C-alpha cells in the first residue's frame, strides 16, 4: 500500500488496513531486559493475532504468569474474545463471545485475599449486535473457557472497542501490591 502523500494514496484505506490486526500481525511477544548487563532478549510467544494484553495489577512490572489478550475478527477492528496465556507452561485457553457479539479490553479484578495470580475475575463489556444491547461479562480468571459466571445487562448500548482499567479500592490513593 502506498505511503501517505504518495500518488493515489487513500488515507482512509490505510487507516482501515491498519485497524485490521490480521494485517499488522500483532502477536504476543516477551522482551526481557537485564538491568545489570544491558542484554535484551525477545521471544515470540504465540503466532495467533492478539492485542491489548492485561495482567493482574499486582504483577505489573514484575514477573507474572498469566496474560489475557483480546482476539480479533479478521478484516475488522472487532474484539471477538479473550485468550489467556500461561507463560509458565505455554498453554492457552480462550473464551469467544459468539456470533454478532464484540467485546472491549478485558480487566482483572482479584478476589479479597487472593490465593493465586489468577484468583479473581476477568471483566469486559460486550456489545450484542443481534439484540442491540450491551452487557458486562464476568469470567473466572482461572478458567475463562468455562464462560461467564455472571452477566449484567446495561441500560444503554456501549460502543465496542472501549478501553478500560480496573483499580482496586485500596489502590485508589496509594500503591500497595499484594505479595
In a domain, 26, yes or no: yes
Tens digit of pLDDT at every position of the chain (179 positions) = 455 445 557 888 887 777 888 888 888 998 889 999 999 999 999 999 999 999 998 888 888 999 999 999 998 889 999 999 999 999 999 999 999 999 999 999 999 899 999 999 999 999 999 999 999 999 999 999 999 999 999 999 988 877 777 777 777 776 655 55
Grid-cell match 511477544, residue found: 29
In a domain, 175, yes or no: no
Q: Which residues are annotated as a binding site for Fe cation?
A: 163
In a domain, 81, yes or no: yes
In a domain, 160, yes or no: yes
In a domain, 5, yes or no: no
Residue 15, number of CB atoms within 10 A of its CB: 11
Residues 6+ apart with CB under 8 A from 10: none
In a domain, 4, yes or no: no
In a domain, 178, yes or no: no
Q: How many domains, in total, are found in the chain?
A: 1
Give the residue numbers spanning the domain of 63.
11-167
Q: Which residues are annotated as a binding site?
A: 163
Global pTM value? 0.83
Name the strand (E) or helix (H) holding 17.
helix 11-19
In a domain, 179, yes or no: no
Amino acid at each position: 500500500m502506498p505511503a501517505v502523500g504518495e500518488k493515489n494514496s487513500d488515507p482512509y484505506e490505510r487507516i482501515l488496513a491498519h485497524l485490521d490486526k490480521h494485517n499488522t500481525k500483532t502477536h504476543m511477544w516477551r522482551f526481557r531486559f537485564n538491568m545489570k548487563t544491558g542484554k535484551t532478549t525477545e521471544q515470540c510467544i504465540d503466532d495467533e493475532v492478539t492485542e491489548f494484553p492485561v495482567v493482574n495489577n499486582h504483577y505489573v512490572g514484575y514477573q507474572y504468569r498469566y496474560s489475557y489478550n483480546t482476539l480479533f475478527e479478521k478484516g475488522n477492528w472487532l474484539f471477538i474474545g479473550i485468550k489467556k496465556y500461561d507463560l509458565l507452561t505455554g498453554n492457552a485457553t480462550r473464551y469467544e463471545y459468539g456470533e454478532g457479539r464484540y467485546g472491549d479490553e478485558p480487566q482483572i479484578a482479584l478476589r479479597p485475599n487472593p490465593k493465586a495470580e489468577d484468583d479473581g475475575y476477568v471483566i469486559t463489556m460486550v456489545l450484542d449486535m443481534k439484540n442491540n444491547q450491551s452487557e458486562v461479562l464476568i469470567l473466572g480468571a482461572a478458567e475463562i473457557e468455562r464462560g461467564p459466571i455472571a452477566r449484567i445487562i446495561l441500560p444503554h448500548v456501549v460502543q465496542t472497542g472501549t478501553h478500560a482499567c480496573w483499580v482496586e479500592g485500596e489502590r485508589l490513593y496509594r500503591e500497595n501490591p499484594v505479595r
